[in-house]
Amino acid sequence: MLAVAPARAGALRPFGLGSFEEIRRANAGRAHVVAFWSVTCAPCHEEMPVWRELRRRRPDVPLALVSTDGLPEAAGVEARLAEHGLADAPAWIFADERVERLRHSIDRGWRGELPRTYLVDARGGTEALTGRVQWHALADWLARAPAR
């Protein structure tokens, strides 16, 4: 799974056109989660304990955290991840100033609302969620989603 993990723990990878599909390809055949967030999004920070819990309870389920902040905000993004106990989580940061184009490459229906989460089952079926994800809802999805 080298394509999913950053080169070193805590390193942010640049997220550009094709990165969402790269994450999906790297995890093909496995249930996984791709969560979009921002340092300026209060509900995103309220959701971070869910991602920490996912990593603790289900280390078999890959998680990709993607900050929609730009590269100039990398230090702040890394600080927030560390603050939430996710400094070693696979993480990306938007690396294209044309954020509309990036969002469109992920999901034509996404207008930038945060937090935004994509739950991808082992067969590639995708559920897009806008708003804060609660642990019980994530656990329910994991229980019913094909894992492999």
Residue 86, domain CATH: 3.40.30.10
| Coil/strand/helix, residue 3 | coil
Angle at 69 between CA 101 and CA 119, to 5 degrees: 70
**Burial tier of 119 (Cβ tally within 10 Å: 0-12, 13-18, 19+):** buried
The number of helices, as runs of H, and strands, as runs of E, in the chain is 5, 6
The answer as to whether 3 is a domain residue is no
Per-residue pLDDT of 77-105, as tens digits, reads 999 999 999 999 999 999 998 999 999 99
Model pLDDT for residues 101-111, shown as the tens digit of each residue? 999 999 999 99
- Domain with 59, as residue range(s), is 12-144
Mean pLDDT along residues 114-130: 96
- For the beta sheet containing 91-94, the strands, ordered from the edge strand earlier in sequence to the opposite edge, are 12-15, 91-94, 63-67, 32-37, 116-120, 126-130
| Per-residue pLDDT at 21 exceeds 70 | yes
Helix (H) or strand (E) holding 51: helix 42-57
| 106 phi/psi in degrees, rounded to 5 | -85, -50
1 has a pLDDT exceeding 70: no
* Residue at 5 is within a domain: no
Is the residue at 4 inside a domain? Answer: no
For residue 1, tell me if it sits in a domain: no
Would you say residue 42 lies in a domain? yes
Model pTM score: 0.91
Domain count, the chain: 1
